A and B are shown apart, each in its own frame.
Chain A
Amino acid sequence: MTMLEIKDFGKRFTIHHLEKTMPAIEHINFSLEAGEFIGIVGKSGSGKSTILKSIYRSYLPDTGNILYNSARFGQVDLATISERKMLYLRQYEIGYVSQFLNVMPRTTCRQLVINALLEMGESEEVALKESGEALTHFEMDPKLWDSYPNTFSGGEKLRLNIAMATVKNPRLLLLDEPTASLDQQSKVKVREMIEKLKNKGTTLVGIFHDIEFMEGLCDKVYDIQSRQQTVVKETITYES
């Protein structure tokens, strides 16, 4: 089943005070089957984040289609879907993870994960239990569970974000540069986390500027410069 298909997608930004319209990205095409992991690579400023944010509707898509196969609504075009449906999908089907935390002030790490579960209608007990499991799963130091995330390191914020997104069991998870500005050791942890998510059957879209790190993990790679989608496993068989 095709989970996500991007067809001739493009996005421009109109900056009124400069009276200019700047094309961020044009003619993007790729597709993704359920359970696959696609890595999007490209230089800084090539529009990787623009694609991801447009899928999540943090940016308003301009041209093309973003076809997503929803469990609730069937196939929908995320470029034109109603705001209320998009909110539903964010709540129950599509997760977004970056290194930046944007959360309620003065809320502990554990409470944030619990809130993510309560929003989905889970009971308090289930939420408490599952939040602990998720934080353990993503190797968050239990000493940090009851502290406020303001002082967390980049890697810790990322892990908290992943925990908040994955307790919802999203069908599609968008990873916005999850390894940027992390040291080698933390990167290895992120890689392990992605492996765990993949094993659970989550479909993943990740953007990376260094794809080598994801070798053997991505099923597909989409290169923004060449506009080419390659299937990684097949390339390996050709080479050997």
Chain B
Amino acid sequence: MHEKPILQVRNLRKQFGTGCKDCSELMNRNLEKNFCKSCGTVYACQDISFDLYPGEILGIVGESGSGKSTMMQCLYFDADVTSGEAYISDSILAGQNVFGLSSQQKRSIRNHVYGMVYQNPVHGLKMNFSSVGNIAEKLIAAGNRNVANMEATSKKLLNNVHIPLHRMKEEPRNFSGGMQQRVQIAKALSNNPPILFLDEVTTGLDLSVQANVLDLIKKIQRDLGISMIVVSHDLGVIRMLADRTIVLLNGKVIEEGLTDQVLEDPQHEYTQQLVYSLL
């Protein structure tokens, strides 16, 4: 089995601040967690590398401030990386570091290759557009022009995420948090992205809605074979969804493995503490 990763990330670094002589060397940084006390630079992501394979769900866990969301923002080009490389296995993009592309090319990747579901639906949806309009926006960005087709696709997607079609013309701001999240998922899926990023998508949802969203994500993986990166601080969510898991601490990968192995036989001290804290 010589499968190729669909996304390869190498040495992703993101720092906020310029750095100083105490913190510029990666190997012997004098940091308090991820913070340099001399110059105030925050090292949010320090040399994160991983592979994402076709059809798999990769879990990213870590406490608040471990760099999970910053990493996702960098991958989705919401934030620029300080340094690092990412390669997408795609006939056009093969061999090119996507972080180094022009903003136009990055937008094209977002429109055709990536889908993103943010923790807060405000970031992923236009709250004063209708739900169906939100999906159409993404479809238009991906090059669709046929209104009838777009409406049919939107209906199918909203139906898949259990949004009643008689409410599809409503603005998402009228919806509950769980419904907004599901509209956001429908929107993210509308361009059939081979890669989907999910950032704390179930955080703040009640258990019943959480179960719906988890079921939906698993179904998307099964039916569409989309590769996903799921960021969560909730180990239960990661256990249900992820095949493999990466543990982040202070912006570094401290452990990675099969999800059940990370949870049942954690190797790193921090992961052990994390697992012992599990309810």
Contacts and interface: CB of A to CB of B under 8 A. Distances in A.
B264 A83 contact: no
Interface string B217-258: 010001000000000000000011001100000000000011
Interface string B140-157: 000000000000000000
A60 B211 contact: no
A104 interface: yes
Given A14-B267, A104-B214, A86 B1 contact: no
Given A73-B1, A87-B244, A60 B53 contact: no
Contacts, number: 62
A87 B243 contact: yes
A27 interface: no
B272 interface: yes
Contacts of B208: 106
A87 B218 contact: no
A15 interface: yes
B215 interface: yes
Contact of B258 (A13, A87, A104, A115): A87
Contact of B244 (A13, A83, A102, A105): A83
Contact of B264 (A59, A72, A84, A107): A59
A121 to B, nearest CB: 9
Given A59-B264, A83-B258, A88 B272 contact: no
Interface in B1-43: 1, 3
A106 B264 contact: no
A110 B260 CA distance: 24
Contacts of B218: 104, 115
Interface string A53-94: 100011110000000000011000000000111111000000
Contacts of B267: 14, 60
A200 interface: no
Interface of A: 13-17, 53, 57-60, 72-73, 83-88, 102, 104-107, 115, 118-119
Interface of B: 1, 3, 53, 56, 207-208, 210-211, 214-215, 218, 222, 239-240, 243-244, 257-258, 260-261, 264-265, 267-269, 272-273
Ranked nearest first, the 9 interchain pairs of A and B with the lowest CB-CB distance are A16-B269, A59-B265, A106-B211, A105-B211, A58-B260, A58-B264, A60-B265, A118-B222, A87-B243
